[in-house]
């Protein structure tokens, strides 16, 4: 089998790139290790920047998002001294969209099906070959049979644990990493959200986040030690601790109920450079991981897709040199988002060994954010998304 662009990974970044390329007349084949139902069962982020929503509309996948997504003009931050709001629209004239990643993936699958795109699920033992030549190819196994996929370029959209990044020689890539000494315990529940907009809470007992997916589906998080396990937390224990960390007025009126999903995610910051090796281009989590505090994971993947789509479109139009700038363009924006996610994480979480002085410094930082318009403008610009 032959195609123009082989896409490794059928998550939202791989599907979005495939959708954009096919609509531009460029053929793709997507290879996904898991089943479609597994991909759609992943619970992930739900806050989309304008750049991401614009790209989904450009791909012909924005109708349901525009109908069901929830526009947020700002967000709330809470400390032991009270809660305040940062108004994104007032500060920088931008908003964000609350629309779950699962819904985005469903929309992308539907769009890919409608145009007859080729997606191979349960593709096992994927391997990338001859990436520094003019004739790269991919091998994989499906239903016990070996297959070869010849292509012009390979897009590695297969996440942090995928084969794409590992296909770049270790001595040709530089990896930067910060592993945080805590995780997020997340609960999804069929309950009304605790507030109309997200609440990020700094509390001496640890960070908490009150989020949502839609008016009947809420997503909540608690900072927990990495030694904790999901089984350690009953639903009742989760709700009790969440109430302690959220503002009292919010906690009193919060609707609770059985969890329909519960998991613990470790937090890390990770970037690999460069994002290109020959005819292989890394996209999304294959190249970078951000802590979820700044809501940047899916949004950074979308900006990578934007840059790579533009470069590939130019290359197939005769300007192969356009691909040379992909890695540098993507990394400039990635490091900006990395800094913001690190900052949000550092001012909101309780770190091991943190004493009362450290807590007061965090509260002073948050007080400046509450009282200085310039600080709010900087946060609003980063949260709603740096320009592409």
Active centre residues (catalytic):
72, 200, 292, 296, 383
CA distance 266 to 85: 28
Q: How far apart are CA 281 and CA 273, in angstroms?
A: 11
145: enclosing H helix or E strand: strand 145-150
Contact 218, 212 (CB under 8 A): yes
Strands 259-273 and 288-289, bridge-based pairing = antiparallel
The answer to whether 193 and 76 are in contact (CB under 8 A) is: no
Instruction: Give the H or E element holding residue 126.
Output: strand 124-129
**What is the Cα–Cα distance from 287 to 174, expressed in whole angstroms?**
11
By CB atoms closer than 10 A (0-12, 13-18, 19+), residue 383 is: buried
Structure tokens at 108: 């992308």
Contact between 310 and 344 under an 8 Å Cβ cutoff? The reply is no
In angstroms, rounded to a whole number, what is the distance separating the alpha carbons of residues 388 and 142? Answer: 38
**Residue labelled with tokens 């609003």:** 380
Cβ atoms of residues 199 and 219 within 8 Å: no
8 Å CB contact between 215 and 230: no
């Amino acid at each position: 089998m032959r195609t123009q662009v082989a896409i490794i990974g059928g998550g939202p970044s791989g599907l979005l790139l495939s959708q954009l390329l096919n609509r531009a007349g460029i053929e793709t084949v997507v290879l996904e290790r898991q089943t479609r139902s597994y991909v759609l069962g992943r619970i992930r982020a739900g806050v989309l920047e304008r750049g991401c929503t614009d790209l989904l509309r450009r791909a012909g996948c924005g109708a349901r998002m525009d109908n069901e997504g929830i526009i947020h003009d700002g967000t709330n931050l809470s400390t032991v001294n009270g809660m305040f709001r940062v108004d994104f629209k007032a500060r920088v004239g931008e908003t964000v969209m609350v629309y779950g990643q699962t819904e985005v993936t469903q929309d992308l699958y539907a769009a890919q099906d409608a145009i007859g795109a080729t997606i191979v699920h349960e593709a096992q033992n994927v391997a990338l070959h001859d990436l520094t030549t003019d004739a790269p190819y991919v091998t994989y196994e499906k239903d016990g049979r070996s297959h070869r996929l010849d292509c012009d370029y390979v897009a590695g959209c297969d996440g942090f644990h995928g084969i794409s990044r590992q296909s770049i020689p270790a001595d040709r890539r530089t990896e930067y990493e910060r592993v945080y000494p805590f995780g997020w315990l997340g609960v999804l529940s069929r309950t009304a959200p605790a507030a109309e907009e997200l609440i990020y809470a700094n509390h001496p007992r640890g960070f908490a986040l009150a989020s949502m997916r839609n008016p009947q589906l809420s997503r909540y998080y608690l900072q927990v030690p990495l030694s904790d396990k999901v089984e350690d937390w009953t639903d009742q224990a989760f709700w009790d601790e969440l109430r302690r960390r959220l503002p009292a007025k919010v906690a009193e009126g919060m609707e609770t109920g059985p969890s329909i999903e519960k998991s613990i995610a470790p937090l890390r910051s990770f970037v690999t450079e460069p994002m290109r090796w020959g005819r292989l281009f890394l996209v999304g989590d294959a190249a970078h991981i951000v802590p979820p505090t700044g809501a940047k994971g899916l949004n950074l993947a979308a900006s990578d897709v934007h840059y790579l789509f533009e470069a590939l479109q130019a290359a197939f139009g005769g300007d192969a040199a356009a691909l040379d700038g992909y890695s540098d363009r993507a990394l400039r924006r990635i490091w900006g988002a990395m800094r913001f996610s690190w900052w949000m994480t550092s001012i909101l979480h309780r770190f091991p060994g943190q004493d009362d002085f450290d807590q007061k410094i965090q509260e002073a930082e948050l007080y400046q954010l509450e009282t200085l318009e310039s600080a709010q403008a900087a946060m609003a610009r980063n949260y709603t998304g740096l320009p592409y």
